[in-house]
Amino acid sequence: MSASGDIEFEHRGPLGLVTLRRPQALNALTLDMIRVFSARLANWAQDSSVKAVVVQGEGDRAFCAGGDIVHIHEGRPAMAHGKNEFGYRFFEAEYSLNRQIKVFPKPYIALMDGVTMGGGVGISVHGSHRVVSERTRLAMPEASIGFFPDVGGSFLLPRLTGEMGLFIGLTGWPLGASDCVRLGIATHFAHSFLNEGLVEALRGADWTNAAPQAVVDAVLSSFDQTPPASEDEDLMNHQQRIDRCFSSATVEAIQSCLGAVGTPWSEKALTLMGRASPTSLKVALAQLRRGAAMTFDEAMQMEFQLSQVFLGKDD
């Protein structure tokens, strides 16, 4: 467990089990949590007795609501030579962890049960297996706090179908399980009450005669179900409108196109964009379009440079 007690690691048979333990803060990540998580992953990558890693959040509200932006914001006044020292350390560690998950050599299973936002997306979607539940609400709402879709959003979002990634990044629209599965953000759906049984099934599986990837695939397939219909209208129903509006050259043109659609869905999208920082919207538009041609490492390097510029601003 970390020094703060906010993250717990168990070596449960063939599994490395990570539990985020800040339910009062929706399991938001602190710098300490990120650092000990990274160190443990490095250890488990080399430990032959660990066949796969499972990551979950404590409580019934959130997997992980992101990074601890309160501490980052409070660190802004402590500028040294034009640099927010805490913010520099935080994003350097967080983005390094995102890359570590992306290249992790063993199955990495994220149980994305509940709110999954920002930094929570970064420690889930880059893993090999992403399991959503009926409680999943996934979003990238960074533009609404004067930031940009980071933690690998530059790589992930442009690779979704059509202009869907740009829509998600500019509006912060929350996705339910159905949209996550249909967009390929999630690989499986399982009801939340099955998560404990899923972990036990992985622990008790026969890992001796098959590759770890095949074992995980088989276990998750046995739990996989069709997600229930979204409480909101499924985003996929609006794919053509999203592609038309979000292929526009500027933020203003996107907003004008949405206004011309004139439906409750487009009005909600406009409202969400209206709550965002105008600077963030313009940066995100350029960032995500550039990210479409970048490797994962290039995208993360761009995001780190952007994070340091944003930390020095008052927006």
Spot the catalytic one: 119, 127, 152, 291: 119
Strand, helix or coil at 55? strand
- Do 280 and 143 touch, CB atoms closer than 8 A? yes
Distance CA 235, CA 2 (A): 39
CB 147 within 8 A of CB 280: yes
d(CA 136, CA 145): 21
For residue 195, what are its two tokens? Answer: 């998560």
Residues 149 and 156: their CA atoms lie apart, in Å, by: 10
Q: Which of 57, 66, 67, 75 is catalytic?
A: 67
Asked if 169 and 140 count as a contact pair (C-beta separation under 8 A), the reply is: yes
Catalytic residue among 113, 134, 150, 217: 150
Q: Is 150 designated active site?
A: yes
Q: Which residues pair with 53 in a beta bridge?
A: 16, 108
- Please identify which of the residues 68, 94, 142, 217 carries the catalytic annotation: 142
Distance from C-alpha of 268 to C-alpha of 264, rounded to nearest angstrom = 6
For 301, residues 6+ apart whose C-beta sits below 8 A from its C-beta are none
Q: Letter for the amino acid at 153?
A: G
**Residue in this structure with the two tokens 């019934």, named with its chain if needed:** 60
Active site residues: 67, 119, 142, 150
